[in-house]
Amino acid sequence: MSLPNWWLKLLMSSRLQSRYFYNVSRRRYSIQIKLYRRPGYQRGSLICHVYHQGKHLKLSLGHHHIWPEHWDETRQRMIIGAPKWRQINNDIDERLNRIVEYYTARSEMGAAPTLEGLRAHMYALGNRRPDRKSQTSFVAWFTRFIRDHNNNSRALAVGTTRTYKVVLTSWRAYEAHVRQHVNLHDLAQDERGDTNSATKILQEYRRFLIVGGPSRQTCSDNTVRKYLKIINTFLRWCEQQTGKQYIKKITIPGEITSKHSVALTQEDVALLENMTIAEGSTLAHVRDAVLMAIYTGLRHSEWKKVRPDLWREPSQLITSQKTGKICLVIHREPLREILRKYEATGFRKSIHSLQKMNMYIKELAKRAGLTRPVSRVKTIDGIDHHETVPLYEAITTHTFRRTKVTLELNQGRALRDIVMETGQDELVARKHYDRPDLDEHVRKLGIERYQEHATAV
């Protein structure tokens, strides 16, 4: 049974304000959508409250960080024009539909509805086969998350799915280390809203990553933040599936940033452009892909979306699979020459593998002479650890994205114009890229390595 939109609007505007509903058997129940804010927090979460026969059931809608000024308490709806207002209001309509469906179906069957039955109806697991003994285990739910989760109805990028699987592997290693399996409800808030047990579990997991990790290698703070950010996304998805509330604050201080990552200079780019390399070889195709990445600033997952057959056009648009944002690929002459070369054949499939590309890139950079020493910094448990390595060892596919932004900022281009091509948010790009790396900062000051001159005898 599906309710028409006009009925839902009437329900939200009048009947919901009095909270009480009556089904065909005159069994009284009520619903309220409230914005819950913990003490000391400016933003809150949307919670659906169902009251029936003196009992109370709370269902999380899975929407958090809602500002009070964006929520209409009278209509119990998001205010038009607020961020994600249409999506959130549609979710509220869907939840109301499912609640009314349950009570109506039970009445038609002549059975008494219960809040436990309502929860089962709202968040039925179905007959899915878990990969562990318990369907309520963290691992079973995370496996389902990898299979069913999407990015605002867009398929996840291959790299994102691979990262999710890495996090799952690390969690399995953590459970083997502590010799116990974690259930999903261990990370939920209790009746008083406390999450002490959940906090302890995640602190132990974080310490496990820092001390040894799944491969017995220490993880940097950036890696730990990324893993915890993914677990946070997973728990928000679980809230939409189960209606329960799980721990919110699970990250560590700081931000996921690349402040110590390197960028190529204009001289480094010239070495790559002018190096002698056999045409048709694997490294020749890798060199073309690298130069395309430097000219466009695209992520590795977006390289395969570039269409060489459009080289005659002034530009082409591609949509980032990771963010859903538009990237403007401008066909400047160096890029146009590369695209024209691959018009008939397309780019080699070998460039689609991130692992292989990072291996080829280091070999290519070494042959091109990118051997100057650079500082590589890792922050582990809040402490910076640095080492000096040849430039080719520090280069990855993301280096070229940073190179594009850094070089054009140094040339005086506005960041607003640059992010039109890279598909980034301007604030994020400014935070991550609008600054020199450590070696570039020293070069700009004009300080060079001291050279001793032999004195004539």
Asked if residue 304 belongs to a domain, the reply is: yes
The answer to whether residues 112 and 144 belong to one domain is: no
Question: Which residues are CB-neighbours of 74 under 8 A, at least 6 positions away?
Answer: 17
Question: Percent of the chain, pLDDT > 90?
Answer: 23
pLDDT at res. 96: 86
Q: What is the CATH number of the domain that holds 301?
A: 1.10.443.10
pLDDT at res. 2: 52
C-alpha to C-alpha distances, 363 to 340, 371, 404, nearest whole angstrom: 25, 11, 21
Which segment of 13-17, 82-86, 133-137 scores lowest on mean pLDDT?
Answer: 13-17
- Determine the distance from the C-alpha atom of residue 8 to the mean position of all C-alpha atoms in its chain, rounded to a whole number: 34
The answer to whether residues 362 and 413 belong to one domain is: yes
- pLDDT higher than threshold 50 for residue 128: no
Asked if residue 98 belongs to a domain, the reply is: yes
Domain count, the chain: 3
Best CA proximity match to 213, nearest among 183, 169, 257, 159:
169
The answer to whether residues 332 and 412 belong to one domain is: yes
Asked if residue 454 belongs to a domain, the reply is: no
The answer to whether residues 186 and 93 belong to one domain is: no
pLDDT at res. 410: 84
Asked if residue 449 belongs to a domain, the reply is: no
The answer to whether residues 279 and 233 belong to one domain is: no
The answer to whether residues 110 and 237 belong to one domain is: no
Hey, CA dihedral for 181, 184, 190, 195, is it positive or negative? positive
Q: Which helix or strand (DSSP H or E) is residue 51 part of?
A: strand 45-52
Of 93, 122, 151, which closes a domain?
122
Question: What is the spatial distance between Cα 103 and Cα 81, in angstroms, rounded to a whole number?
Answer: 33
Question: Which residues are CB-neighbours of 234 under 8 A, at least 6 positions away?
Answer: 141, 142, 145, 149
- pLDDT higher than threshold 50 for residue 277: yes
Place of tokens 């509903």: 21
Q: What is the dihedral of CA 348, 163, 299, 359, to 10 degrees?
A: -50
User: Between 17 and 331, whose confidence is greater?
Assistant: 331
Q: Taking residues 276-304, report their average pLDDT.
A: 91
The answer to whether residues 212 and 236 belong to one domain is: yes
Of 64, 96, 122, which closes a domain?
122
DSSP letter for each residue of 78-109 = EPTTSTTHHHHHHHHHHHHHHHHHHHHHHHHH
User: Between 160 and 431, whose confidence is greater?
Assistant: 160
pLDDT at res. 262: 81
Per-range mean pLDDT, top range of 8-12, 45-49, 128-132: 45-49
pLDDT at res. 24: 37
The answer to whether residues 194 and 285 belong to one domain is: no
Which segment of 103-112, 143-152, 214-223, 236-245 scores lowest on mean pLDDT?
Answer: 214-223
Asked if residue 395 belongs to a domain, the reply is: yes
pTM for this entry: 0.60
Q: Looking only at Cα atoms, what is the longest distance across the chain?
A: 112
Which segment of 9-13, 25-29, 191-195, 256-260 scores lowest on mean pLDDT?
Answer: 9-13
Best CA proximity match to 158, nearest among 358, 353, 348, 360:
353
The answer to whether residues 192 and 317 belong to one domain is: no
- pLDDT higher than threshold 90 for residue 310: yes
The answer to whether residues 117 and 203 belong to one domain is: no
pLDDT at res. 199: 87
Q: What is the dihedral of CA 227, 229, 393, 444, to 10 degrees?
A: -150
Asked if residue 128 belongs to a domain, the reply is: no
pLDDT at res. 296: 94
Asked if residue 455 belongs to a domain, the reply is: no
Question: pLDDT digits over 400-454, tens only?
Answer: 988 998 888 888 888 889 989 988 888 777 767 655 566 667 777 777 777 776 5
The answer to whether residues 200 and 281 belong to one domain is: no
pLDDT at res. 10: 47
The answer to whether residues 275 and 352 belong to one domain is: yes
Evaluate whether 30 touches 22 at the Cβ level (below 8 Å): no
Which segment of 54-68, 103-117, 171-185, 241-255 scores lowest on mean pLDDT?
Answer: 241-255
Of 242, 275, 304, which closes a domain?
242
Asked if residue 100 belongs to a domain, the reply is: yes
Evaluate whether 382 touches 221 at the Cβ level (below 8 Å): yes
Q: How confident is the prediction for the chain on average, in pLDDT?
A: 81
pLDDT at res. 212: 72
Range(s) of the domain holding residue 64: 5-122
Question: pLDDT digits over 17-65, tens only?
Answer: 434 343 434 557 888 888 888 787 888 888 888 888 888 888 888 788 8
- pLDDT higher than threshold 50 for residue 325: yes
